[in-house]
Chains A and B, each alone.
Chain A
Amino acid sequence: MSAQPETVLSIDQVAVHFGGLVAISDMTFAVRSGEIVGLIGPNGAGKTTAFNVVTGFLKPTSGEVRYRSNPLNGLKPHEIAKLGLVRTFQRTSVFQERNVFQNVLTGLHGRGRSSLWDTLLGTPREKSSERELKDEANEILRFVGLEQRAHEPAGTLPYGEQRLIGVALALAAKPSMLLLDEPVSGMNPSETARFVKLVEKIRESGVTILLVEHDMPMVMKVCDRIVVLNYGRIIA
């Protein structure tokens, strides 16, 4: 890479206060296209809070976030997701009662082409759209290695696999940038190793990644660059 790739995500002097508590005091950093950036820091440093601000789940007290030159302030989470900025959650987050396949199908929501009328009238477009979504869901399940689990209820799977479902769901939303919040916490070493490969595969498919993780060897292995957040400030 000779020319410096363009900046996709820029976080500019963001502060978040919860009443008297300062979760983030002044955060500024940027992520360039195609990078894998690690965001690290001790417990309570404000990493998850930063994710919540970037993806519209929290309003910052001050400061601005831009994604591909769109200011994100005031956008709702689903609008930000449609811009291509998709996150996973630190605590496992799946649609518990639905099977793995239905989970991914739900994640593919934005890519369906059928309208409500198509659905109610059972038009050919409804059928072809559903068929496409199902093919894509199968493809994503193969990509993350969950095809064997397709018909099992998500809530009954082991912890490590539930984390993978979270990633599969995020990928289904067709991100151009992915925010992963402690994706390997709770995984055993072999699952972690497999996950590292998956992250690299995701990057090769052209997705920029911002990764929060406490597992330092993993962070060192996959990240191009590391940002350290401490007491709500960037220190490195």
Chain B
Amino acid sequence: MSRLLVSILVALLASVPLWLTDFYYLHVLIVTGIFIVAAMSLNLLLGYTGQLSLGHVAFFGIGAYTSALVSLGFEVHILPDVTVGMAPKPVWFAMLCATAVAGLTGYAIGKLSFRVRGAYFVIVSISFAEVVRLVALNWVELTQGPMALNNIPALTLGFDGFELSFLRKPAFYLLVLTMLVVCYVIIARLVNSRAGRAMIALRENESLAMSVGIDVTRYLVVATVVSAAMAGMAGALYTHYIRIVDPDIFLFIYTVTMVIMVVTGGKGTLAGPIVGGVIFGIVPEVLRGMEIRPEVQWIAYGVLMVLVVYFLPRGIVPAIESYMSSRRRAPKGEAVAVAPEAPQQ
């Protein structure tokens, strides 16, 4: 897509709070935007390095909890007479911590996946998410367990006399949009670079990648760190928006939602998670607005996904791309160069 088109689209999205006055719709857009960031981060791993992280929500949840705890302050007894604690810190700092902690966790997982690839990576990532959920549930002193962390402060940015509060929805919407654009740019730069080529090489043919001197493990770690940090940042946004966090944030269904967004939109494409995220973030709300019963909704949902995966196995975005490129070539007619059929052996 051309740069101009993207700028127009972003400007259009930025103008939404000016004319969309119904806060319920703004809420839907905010939550969808946060999930799109999470799906984009998953896409970096799943779509570009080819590793399926089915515990991706762990990074999201770790970001949410870290940001909540740093902004609320905490105190825990590690040994009977040793306590570790922290006074409440500004929310912007908490969000940076969340990004960093999630990134570090990603580093550890990435290092671990040095030995475990493919199916084992899937299992390690699921187990990891489950362990983190159990910690959040049972370390009551730190996390309040199922009672949840409440009254999480909203983000305010300010210099003397000038305070910018992200408590209200229009401001928060713009914050999410900004973060989404930043993450998009980071991923776009990454995947079109030397590092991104190394990641794709790992997905396409690991042995061949190694044979030309690519340290595949290093780039898998880089991808995991960036991906985890972004998911953590999305989690932090979510916490300071909803302003309550409990262990349900680690539920497997959230990972599944992200995977569905990425796969239907088109994994390994920049626009894929956005398209998938819009469909699976906004359509359910529209259906709900039409007062369709939830059961019917979920079935419609499932059917939609099966249809997409069945008819467009590579996802919506690649399907559109190949349709467009075939249309562009078709009018010029006969001059289409077709590679002679390979003598397969």
Determine if B213 and A89 form an interchain contact, defined as CB atoms under 8 angstroms apart.
no
B258 close to chain A: CB less than 8 A: no
Q: How far is the CA of A94 from the CA of B189 in the complex (A)?
A: 24
Tell me the complex Cα distance, A130–B194, Å.
8
Mark A76-87 against chain B: 1 for CB-CB distance below 8 A, else 0. Answer: 111001100011
CA distance A119 to B339 in the complex (A): 35
The size class of the interface chain B forms with chain A is 20 to 34
* Known contacts A93-B205, A105-B197, A158-B342; A122 and B210 CB within 8 A of each other: no
Q: Which residue of B lies closest to A96 (CB)?
A: B204
CB under 8 Å from chain A, chain B span 117-144: none
B98 within 8 A of A: no
Number of A-B contacts (CB under 8 A): 105
> Is A152 part of the binding interface, using a Cβ–Cβ cutoff of 8 Å?
yes
* Bound form: Cα–Cα A119–B189 in Å: 6
User: 20 A-B residue contacts at CB 8 Å?
Assistant: A78-B213, A81-B210, A81-B211, A82-B213, A86-B211, A86-B212, A93-B205, A94-B205, A95-B205, A98-B200, A102-B197, A105-B197, A109-B212, A109-B213, A110-B212, A112-B194, A156-B339, A162-B342, A173-B213, A186-B345
Residues of A within 8 A of B194 (CB): 109, 112, 114, 119, 129-130, 133
Partner-binding segment picked from B11-19, B214-222, B280-288: B214-222
A57→B341 CA distance, assembly (Å)? 33
- Using a CB-CB cutoff of 8 Å, which residues 159-176 of chain A contact chain B? 159, 162, 169-170, 172-173
Q: How far is the CA of A88 from the CA of B208 in the complex (A)?
A: 8
- Report the separation of the CA atoms of residues A89 and B205 in the bound assembly, to the nearest whole angstrom: 12
1/0 per residue, CB under 8 A from B, across A56-93: the answer is 01000000000000000000111001100011110001
Say how far A221's CB is from chain B's closest CB, in angstroms. 23
Asked if A159 and B344 make an inter-chain contact with CB atoms under 8 angstroms apart, the answer reads yes
Interchain nearest-CB distance for B196 vs A (Å): 8
In A109-135, which residues have CB < 8 Å from any B CB? 109-110, 112, 114, 116, 119-120, 122, 126, 129-130, 133
Given known contacts A78-B216, A81-B213, A109 and B208 CB-to-CB distance under 8 angstroms: no
Give the distance to chain B from A133, nearest Cβ to Cβ, in Å: 7
**Interface positions of B (Cβ within 8 A of A):** 186, 189-190, 193-195, 197-198, 200-201, 204-205, 207-216, 222, 339-345
CA distance A137 to B334 in the complex (A): 30
**Complex alpha-carbon distance, A133 and B213, angstroms:** 15
Q: How many residues of A contact B (CB 8 A)?
A: 45
Contact at B214–A157, with CB atoms within 8 Å?
A: no
| Contact among B195, B205, B210 for A119, CB-based, below 8 A | B195
Question: Which residues does chain A contribute within 8 Å of B207, judged by CB atoms?
Answer: 57, 77, 89, 93
- The 4 A-B pairs of least Cβ separation, nearest first, read A81-B213, A77-B210, A95-B204, A158-B342
**Residue in A closest to B198 when the chains form the complex, CB atoms:** A109
Contact with B along A131-163 (1 / 0, CB 8 A): 001000000000000000000100011110010
Query: Given A109-B197, A158-B343, A159-B345, are A170 and B211 also a contact pair (CB < 8 Å)?
Result: yes
Is A224 an interface residue, CB under 8 A from the partner?
A: no
Given contacts A106-B197, A119-B194, A186-B345, contact A89 B208 (CB under 8 A): yes
Q: For residue A119, which residues in chain B have a CB less than 8 angstroms away from its CB?
A: 189-190, 193-195
Question: Roughly how many angstroms separate A173 CA and B151 CA in the complex, as a whole number?
Answer: 56
CB pair A122–B189 under 8 Å, yes or no, is yes
Q: Which of A87, A120, A122, A172 has the most chain B CB atoms inside 10 A of its CB?
A: A120
State whether A120 touches B345 (Cβ < 8 A). Answer: no
Q: CA–CA, A103 to B307, complex, Å?
A: 33
Q: How far is the CA of A87 from the CA of B340 in the complex (A)?
A: 28
At the interface, yes or no: A208 with Cβ under 8 Å from chain B? no
Contact A96 B205 (CB under 8 A): yes
In the assembled complex, the Cα of A126 lies from the Cα of B193 at a distance in Å of 8
Known A-B contacts: A159-B343, A186-B343. Give 5 more (CB < 8 A).
A87-B211, A95-B200, A95-B205, A158-B342, A173-B211
- The CA-CA distance from A188 to B198 in the complex, in Å, is 33
Return chain A residues, CB-CB under 8 Å to B204. 95-98
Contact check, A78 vs B198: say whether CB atoms are below 8 A apart.
Answer: no
Interchain CB contact under 8 A, B215 and A78? yes
